[in-house]
Amino acid sequence: IKHPLQHTWTLWYFEPDKNKTWEENQRKVTNNSLYNHIKAASELQIGCDYSMFKQGIKPMWEDEANKCGGRWLLNLDRKLRNMDLDRFWLDTLLCIIGEAFNGYSDEICGAVVNIRGKTDKIGVWTANAKNKDSVLEIGRKLRERLKISSKVSICYQIHKDVMVKSGSQAKNAYVV
Ligand code: M7G
């Protein structure tokens, strides 16, 4: 049977372990782990991530597919964890896997949810930060599909800026 989706996707799980490097802490979620319960994002421990990326792309800045790219970033106050986080993450997955970005889905590399102490984060990673039209269109579409309130703006950060700043402190290259 022809695959009904355009791409094959890989789910990654990050759990912080101080004895390992950041990269070693990224694990592919294999078929075996599907026999266990895959927790909702809101049930993960602080410090953990899920990443869903196109097959062959690692969920890291250094990957060939990501190195010129950036991410649309949605900051979610911890207080929203019970209410909104799982819905936002699920809708984000549906957008990327369902190729919802009109002609721009080729620009999508993947998406990440970071569970953190104060502010959880959802990032949609795109391939080339210089492709302004596609970056903006993806941002607008994301706003629309996630039904983000017009009072809230979402910002795009270039990975190269995030690498040298720290976490969410990087400047915003685009805003929608
Ligand atoms: P984070 O988990 O993206 O956000 O980055 P946080 O600051 O809210 O926890 C935390 C740290 O993880 C970074 O400062 C890096 O040391 C490491 N890290 C994160 N990412 C996404 C990467 C990556 O793509 N490559 C490498 N080498 N380290 C990363």
Each residue of 57-67: pLDDT tens digit?
Answer: 999 999 999 99
Q: Atom of ligand 1 at shortest distance to CA of 167?
A: 7
Q: Is the C-beta atom of 167 inside 6 A of ligand 1? A: yes
pTM tops 0.90: yes
pLDDT single digits (tens) 19-51: 999 999 999 997 776 666 789 999 999 999 999
Q: Is the C-beta atom of 16 inside 6 A of ligand 1? A: no
Q: Is the C-beta atom of 77 inside 6 A of ligand 1? A: no
Task: Name the residue at shortest CA distance from atom 16 of ligand 1.
Answer: 22
pLDDT single digits (tens) 80-137: 777 789 999 999 999 999 999 988 999 999 999 999 999 999 999 999 999 999 999 9
Percent of the chain with pLDDT over 90: 78
Classify the complex by whether its ipTM is higher than 0.95, answering yes or no: yes
Q: Is the C-beta atom of 61 inside 6 A of ligand 1? A: yes
DSSP secondary structure letters along the chain? ---SSSS-EEEEEE---TTS-TTTTEEE--HHHHHSPPPPGGGSPTT-EEEEEETT--SSTTSTTTTT-EEEEEEEEGGGIIIIIHHHHHHHHHHHHTT-SGGGGGGEEEEEEE--SSEEEEEEEES-TT-HHHHHHHHHHHHHHHT--TT---EEEEHHHHHHS-GGGSPPSEE-
The confidence score (pLDDT) of residue 151 equals 83
Task: Name the residue at shortest CA distance from atom 26 of ligand 1.
Answer: 60
The confidence score (pLDDT) of residue 58 equals 98
Task: Name the residue at shortest CA distance from atom 28 of ligand 1.
Answer: 22
Mutation to probe ligand 1, out of 14, 22, 24, 122 (largest number of atoms < 8 A from CB): 22
